[in-house]
Amino acid sequence: MHRLRIYPNAIIKNFLRPSVSIRNVQFSSAPSANKVTVNYQLGLPSIQIPLPSRQEVCSFTVRPLMQTVADLLNHVKQEDGGIDYIAIYDANDIRISKSTPLETLLKTNFNLIINDHKYPVDAVLPSDNLASIEEEKGMARLKTMIHQLYTGLNVEEYETRREKELQQQLKKLQDDLSPLENKLTDMTVKAERRSNRLMWGGLAFMSVQFGFLARLTWWEYSWDIIEPVTYFVTYGTAIVFYSYYLITRKDNFGDIQDRHFQIGLHKYAGKNGIDLRKYGQLKDDIFRVEAQIKLLKNSRAALSRPEDH
């Protein structure tokens, strides 16, 4: 019988490789249909589980570092539609959560419950611990190699030079933006005052309208005469506001005030020769350059030195 030699790198690769399925299904008559066994195939645990419908054993190959108990149970149920209940309990008959990693589960003794059958499972050989250790060592070596490659290609020098260029570009953009912001500060105050005057003006108009109709009702004429006038005034006001909504799509006073603020700001900017589009473009460029500078700093900090293990 030939022995298959497993190298640490192969174990690491298998444990870390992403997968959309946790099972490698193999039907076999060799294992007993009354017990659950666990062995290793190519460095990965393979769980032989008897399925109740056909009385056959199905092998499920799992990746402990990436999957949970829920993944195993779901795939067992998908394999056999005759399973009504499946769960995993520990040696003390306490149910194990579906969010428990398979790596943790396989290090302890547990019981697999399928319908009315209970299958005790012993903890697997300590090769999973070896895989975890080898994985950590492999990641450390990989990070060291990346750091050496990073240094050998002078990436750090390039990023430092690139950061200086971005800092100079940022300073130029800020210098171009500074005089615009000083002017816009004054125009913003004026536009705010303008929008406030319009809102208070609307209140004053409604108050004058109310006083005028009250005067006609109780001093000049009577309610019988003024009642139809108030009806048409009210209905006409509703028509005016509904038309305003159809044109502007603004349905509350906050949006109305903001709209008039924007109108006032563009009006004052046009009188002072300020291009608001250019101002917005400068703000966007500054945000983009600052994000690039932050990204370079984070990259250099992460790869400045490899972690020691």
Half-sphere exposure of 189 (CA within 13 A, CB side): 5
pLDDT at 4: 39
Cα R_g (the chain), whole angstroms:
38
Over residues 148-202, the pLDDT tens digits come to 665 655 666 777 788 888 888 888 888 888 877 777 777 887 778 888 888 888 8
Residue 284, C-beta contacts closer than 8 angstroms, at least 6 positions apart: none
pLDDT at 154: 64
Over residues 34-50, the pLDDT tens digits come to 788 888 777 778 888 88
The pTM is what? 0.36
H or E element that contains 44? strand 44-51
Mean pLDDT across the chain: 76
Mean pLDDT, residues 130-138 taken together: 57
- Alpha-carbon torsion, ordered 140, 146, 149, 154, to 10 deg: -120
Q: Using the predicted structure, report yes or no on whether residue 29 has a pLDDT greater than 60.
A: no
Q: Using the predicted structure, report yes or no on whether residue 224 has a pLDDT greater than 70.
A: yes
Mean pLDDT, residues 26-33 taken together: 44
Over residues 281-308, the pLDDT tens digits come to 888 888 998 888 888 888 767 655 544 4
